[in-house]
Structures are given as structure tokens and as C-alpha cells.
Amino acid sequence: MSISLLIGVGALTSIGVYLITARTLSRIILGFVLLGHAAVLALLTAGGPSGAAPIAGGDAALANPLPQALALTAIVISFGLTLFMLALAVRQQTLTGDDLVEDDLEDQRIAQLAAENEHEADR
């Protein structure tokens, strides 16, 4: 197992986590893309050492094709999700002028309710 790839997975995870915990939607999307890369690299790393491209007929030792097939799906799906989130960010920016993630409206209402209860208990 290649230490280089392991470090790559770890570093991309770290940076991705750092970015998705931001308040700006555009940064969250960046972090999401990096986490996607980390996941794909992790699949390849777990699948075995590198080798020749998995095309039948050659003499050299082939790379494991199974994680590659899984990784392809992962790439395509995270691609779709990324673009969708991007569209959400752009829409929010058009409507409100920024792309900050606000606290959930319904949850704010519950907090309001709790505060009212406390207020009543004080009286």
C-alpha cells in the first residue's frame, strides 16, 4: 500500500473537512469536491498496487479493475451533486445577495418556542 496515496487521501480529507464546515456555500462545495477526490483515491488505494491499464491481452500485471469501476460511479455522482449544489448557491445569491448558509428556519422557530417557555417560567 502506497504511503504517498495514503497521505494524499488524508490531506484531501483534512482540507475537505475544513472547507465544508465553513459558512459560505461556495466553500462548502469546494470542500465537497475535495472529499470526493479523497474517496475515489481511497478506493484505488484499497484495491491494490498500481499496474498496467486493465485492458485484456497484455503481458504486464494489470491494475485491479473493480475499484476503478466503483470509482467511476463515484466521480459521476459527485459531479452531479456538485453542480446541483452550485445551482443552489447561485440561486440563493440571486435571491438574497450572498451565499451564506443561514440557520434552518424551522429550527429557529423551535428555539423561539423554547425561549418563550423559559420566559414564562421566569414570570
Partner 1 sequence: MLWTLLIAHLAGIVVAGVAGRRGIRAGLAAAAIAPAATATWAISRLVGDADPATAELVWVAGLDLGVSFRLDSMALMMTTLVSGIGTLVFVYAIGYFSAGADGGVRFPTALLAFSTSMLGLVWADSVWTLFIFWEFTSITSFLLVGHKNTSADVLRAARRALMITGAGGLVLLAGLLLVAEAAGTTTISELGPITGSSASVAAILVMVGAATKSAQFPFHVWLPGAMAAPTPVSAYLHSATMVKAGVLLVAVLSPAMIDVDAWLWTGLAFGVTSMLWGAIGALRQRDAKLILAWGTVSQLGLLVTVLSLGSGKALFAGISLLFAHALFKAALFLVVGEVDIRTGTRDIAELGGLARSMPIAAAVAALAGLSMAGVPPLLGFMAKEAAIEAGLGLSGPERWIALGAITGGSVLTVAYTLRFWIGTFGPGPATEVAPRRLAMTAPAVLLALAGVLGYVFAGQVTDIVGPAAVEANEKASVYELIRWPGLKTAFVISIGIVAAGTALGWFLSARPVGAAPRTVGADAADETIEATLRFAPDITARVQHGSLPVYLATMIIAVIAATMPFFASAEIDHLVLWDRPLQAGLVAVTIVAAATGAVVGSRLGATLTLGAVGIGVSGIFVVHGAPDLALTQLVVETVIVVGFVLGFGSLAREFPRSSESWQTIRLVLSVISGIGIMSALAFAGSRPTGTAPIEALTDEAVDVGGGKNVVNVILTDIRALDTLGEVVVLATVAVGILALARVRADEVEAAS
Residues 2-41 that bind partner 1 (CB under 8 A): 2-24, 26-30, 33-34, 37-38, 40-41
Cα distance between residue 60 and residue 85, in whole Å: 42
How near is the Cβ of 122 to partner 1 at its closest, in Å? 13
DSSP state of 98: S
**Interface with partner 1 in residues 52-81 (CB under 8 A):** 52-57, 62-66, 68-69, 71-73, 75-77, 79-81
* Contact predicate 34/16, CB 8 Å: yes
**99, 119, 122, 123: which one contacts partner 1 (CB under 8 A)?**
99
**At 14, which amino acid appears?**
S
Min dist CB 123 to partner 1, Å, is 13
Cβ proximity of 16 and 35 under 8 Å: yes
